[in-house]
Copies of this chain bind each other. A is one copy, B any other.
Amino acid sequence: MKIILASGSPRRQQFLKDLELDFEIQLKPVDEVYPPHLKAEEITDFLSELKADKFKENVKDDEVVITSDTIVWHKGKALGKPKNTAQAEEMILSYSDDWHEVISSVTFTTAKQQITKSFTTKVHFKILTKEEVSHYVEKYKPLDKAGAYGIQEWIGLIGIDRIEGSYFNVVGLPTHLVYETLKSLEL
């Protein structure tokens, strides 16, 4: 089985290495737009499958393509990557003293079938000060991260006092689902 990871995220690539998988990276640009009526995991399912669609026609018999999408879901809204530092600060401050959800979907596409699984982790931040948030955004520049933060970075270490669900899902990939699904795939 040849695994193709369609993600430029260094964190997802590292997870596949840590899962002891041999894989190849193939990137195909996708315009990440989804119908506005979608909610929560419907959005990540849709975007993960949209990314998979680019590969679908050309998957060989011994291949599986892994695509994935992660969002933060908070107060009924999906937060993706922030457009600029002001928006990043606004997003992070909105998490202060509150729970939000991090939702990832992963799609496994083979020549025979397509499986999409999603996983939700609840994350709680302590009360964050404006100084803490500005420091983080200026120093760590989280513009490449859904929801504008990396849990494994300074703001996560000082600010997140509790999660419920998979930590790895918050970093960007529900690793236990990837392992379980790859084991079960009939190629």
A contact set with B: CB distance below 8 Å = 15, 18-20, 126, 151, 153-154, 157-168, 175-176, 179-180
Contacts and interface: CB of A to CB of B under 8 A. Distances in A.
A163 B161 contact: no
A167 B164 contact: no
A15 B176 CA distance: 24
Contact of A18 (B18, B19, B157): B157
What are the 7 tightest A-B residue pairs by CB atom distance, in nearest-first order? A167-B167, A157-B175, A158-B179, A161-B176, A164-B164, A18-B157, A19-B157
- Copies assembled: 2
Contacts of A176: 126, 157-161
A162 B177 CA distance: 11
20 contacts: A15-B157, A18-B157, A19-B154, A19-B157, A20-B154, A126-B176, A126-B180, A151-B167, A157-B175, A157-B179, A158-B175, A158-B180, A160-B176, A161-B176, A162-B164, A162-B165, A163-B164, A163-B166, A163-B167, A167-B167
Contacts of A179: 157-158
Which of A19, A165, A166, A180 has the most CB atoms of chain B within a 10 A radius of its CB? A166
A30 B126 CA distance: 35
